[in-house]
Amino acid sequence: MSSHETLAHAAPLRAAGPARAAARLLASETALTFRRPRHLAMLAVLAVVPVLIGVAVRIAGADGDAGPIIARVAGNGLVLAFASLSAMLPLILPLAVSVVAGDAVAGEASQGTLRYLLTAPAGRGRLLALKYANVLIFCLAACALVAVSALVAGLALFPTGPVTLLSGTTVPYAEGLLRAGLAVLYAAAGMAALGALALAFSTLTENPIGAIAASVVLVVVSQVLAVIPQLSALRPFLLASWWNAFDGVLRAPMDTGRMGTGLLVFAGYAAVSGAFAWARFTSRDVTS
Amino acid sequence: MRSGTRAMRWGVPVAAVAVVAGVVAAGPVIAAVQGEPSLPRRTAAELLADAAEKWQSGRLPQMSGTIVETASLGLPALPVAGGATSPLGLLSGSHQAKVWYGGPDRLRLMVPDEMNENDLVVNGDQVWWWDSAANTATRIKGAPDGAGRPDAVPYTGTVTPRQAAEEALRAAGTDTEIAVGEDATVAGRAAYQVVLTPKDAGSLVKEVRLAFDGETLVPLRVQLYAKGTAEPAFEVGFDSVTFTPPAPENFAFTPPPGAKVEEATAPPIGRGPHGKDGEPGADGHGAAAPRVVGDGWDRVVVVSLPKRFEGDLAGAADRAKGGRDVEGVASLANGMLNAAAPVSGEWGSGRLIRTKLVTALLTDDGRLLAGAVTPEVLYAAAAAK
């Protein structure tokens, strides 16, 4: 169904500039992604979890073994955005991104719509780029949704005002918002690297569940590897161990060094996965 | 033809892997190509004298950088790996800290952890310890004015730094060989290396390497090598360093609103019993104060333990839930005791725990002996009572 609609948009645009055609294709692809009930349900979960965390802190209070950052939420609602990202980046956000990116190509193949899609004059490389651009938009939207939902819940449940950073420095609320925005961008970059990986898996199979499962299993395995002390040498090379480095925005001065390294790791993963996906997708026989 | 272009397409991911691997390996490869830096030659005495002169005049250059601490002592695996600021946590793995030094009375040390941070801020007579997890700012009182001043210059009573250095070398020379090693690159800077080699045969320490920045003579790295290992068992040094004045806001600390403010005489680092190599610490279990036997590198710490020490340790976790290291200490102790080998000799019998750098002997008559020495030295100390 999806590619029929995509095709319907794409076909009349043959004459228009390739950039505009690509933009239109991307727009329709994105619209499809955000209209799919499965994805909407996932986004709803992403929006609800920060609210649940906020309500739980509000009811139970911040004492006990709540974890260092959760305890701060009660003091300032803005911190809920960082706490939510910190809680959701290890598993929930990667799961959502894996579902969308793992489905991108394999989903079309399993529905038998991939070959129709390939009849469009866009070319396979460009189609793949389009699919990845769509994944990027989803990553950014998912991370931003978590932050916005947390901000709204934080405003409703907790006091606002100047934000205390991890370093003990206090910054105005507006700067706190800016820092939350940076955290969202960093988290989205981390998710985009995973998205490239899941997209590469997606080009390998005609079974979207397989690609999604492979991506999720990889996330879980790398989380497990990261906590084994004997394998600590491996940690800097694992994608998952860099996601939570967004906490660098909460330090004074901002820990740009660590976040920069994280972005480099993300770029490395995205480059290798993207090149692999491209080689696979442009050379394979599409039979369905 | 078609299969040929297909094969070429696979060249792209291969190239991508090669580029990424190249970037990852670039640092070590560049360092290997550049080889060792060569600085103007200086003897150990000259080096120490010049360093001491700079230190004594309080004219250490303003600087900031990242310090990395790595320990691979060969301890039994630590199931509870404590935080970066807990003494237990520092015994295994790698830890990072950032330091800003703006003069003798302006210092900031930051220990980042995931979603957590500890800071030591020294500004004039104000000394603060900030713990973001506990949301507690501790004002450290009674700190000597200018607590950041490196107070490590020995023999300050002597006249000139050069004399002091010579005297220090002579004093150390009885049990230590001091030499200038090959120049090294630390944090991207050419550095002198001073190598201390124990003369005592009973020591497990092969050598201690100190690296001094070639230009400023600031100590950049300390490495501790155990005998029979190529990698340092313990290392602390700069990962990156810049000799520019740090931003003044690093030294301005005011407790944030809502934070608990406490006063103490020492930073509350690693609350809970001290957990160093299974030493019970002075946590009120009736352990006598530790004594030190022997001298030089063969020094052995002897602690008399209360009866039923093992039960004590195992039960410690139940009794003192408050301390965050307690469970770590208990599980470490249990792991150690399980790894201990029963030994006996003329001195009696007990159990021996060996790691790369530290050997500990728990005698059946309730003494704990530990040191960076071979078991034979411990047996001799045990026999001496």
| Top mean-pLDDT range of A83-92, A225-234, B293-302 | A83-92
Q: What is the pLDDT of residue A180?
A: 96
Q: What is the pLDDT of residue B2?
A: 55
Q: What is the pLDDT of residue B251?
A: 92
Give the whole-angstrom CA distance, residue A182 versus residue A190.
Answer: 12
pLDDT band at B364 (very low <50, low <70, confident <90, very high): confident
- Which among B13, B134, B259 is the nearest to A276, CB-wise? B13
> Which residues have a Cβ under 8 Å from the Cβ of B140 and sit 6 or more positions away?
B127, B128, B129, B147, B263, B264, B265, B266, B267
With residue B354 as reference, give the H or E element that holds it: strand B348-354
Can you spell out the DSSP letters for A154-211?
HHHHS--SSEEPTTS-EE-HHHHHHHHHHHHHHHHHHHHHHHHHHHHHHHH-S-HHHH
- Which among B110, B114, B256 is the nearest to A170, CB-wise? B256
What domains can you pick out in chain B, each with its CATH number?
A: 44-264 (2.50.20.10), 291-384 (no CATH)
For residue B186, pLDDT over 50 is answered with yes
Q: Report how far apart, in Å, the C-alpha atoms of A250 and of each of A177, B36, B112 are.
A: 11, 39, 11
For residue A36 the two structure tokens come to 């799919």
Q: Of all residues in chain B, what percent carry a pLDDT higher than 90?
A: 13
Q: Of all residues in chain A, what percent carry a pLDDT higher than 70?
A: 90
Q: What is the pLDDT of residue A3?
A: 46
Q: What is the pLDDT of residue B74?
A: 67
- Which among B9, B81, B255 is the nearest to A282, CB-wise? B9
In this predicted model, what pLDDT tens digit does every residue of A77-131 receive, in sequence order? 899 999 999 999 999 999 999 999 999 999 989 988 888 888 776 688 889 999 9
CB B10 within 8 A of CB B148: no
A72 contacts in chain B (CB < 8 Å): 135
A266 CB burial (10 A radius; 0-12, 13-18, 19+):
buried
For residue A154, pLDDT over 90 is answered with yes
Q: Inter-axis angle of helices A208-227 and A173-204, to 10 degrees? A: 120
With residue A44 as reference, give the H or E element that holds it: helix A37-60
Put the strands of the sheet holding B367-371 in their side by side order. Answer: B291-293, B300-304, B367-371, B359-363, B348-354, B341-345
Q: Of all residues in chain B, what percent carry a pLDDT higher than 70?
A: 71
For residue B232 the two structure tokens come to 């340092």
The region of weakest confidence among A152-166, B101-115, B168-182 is B168-182
For residue A255, pLDDT over 70 is answered with yes
B15 contacts in chain A (CB < 8 Å): 275
Q: What is the mean pLDDT of chain B?
A: 76
CB A47 within 8 A of CB A149: yes
Q: Which residue of B has its CA nearest to A280?
A: B10
Give the whole-angstrom CA distance, residue B383 versus residue B385.
Answer: 5
Q: What is the pLDDT of residue B272?
A: 38
What integer is the mean pLDDT of A211-216? 96
Give the whole-angstrom CA distance, residue B115 versus residue A87.
Answer: 11
Interchain contact B77–A (C-beta under 8 A): yes
For residue A228 the two structure tokens come to 């084994």
For residue B321 the two structure tokens come to 């839930």
What integer is the mean pLDDT of B10-37? 84
CB B320 within 8 A of CB B326: yes
A250 contacts in chain B (CB < 8 Å): 115
B313 DSSP assignment = H
Q: What is the pLDDT of residue A140?
A: 97
pTM tops 0.95, yes or no: no
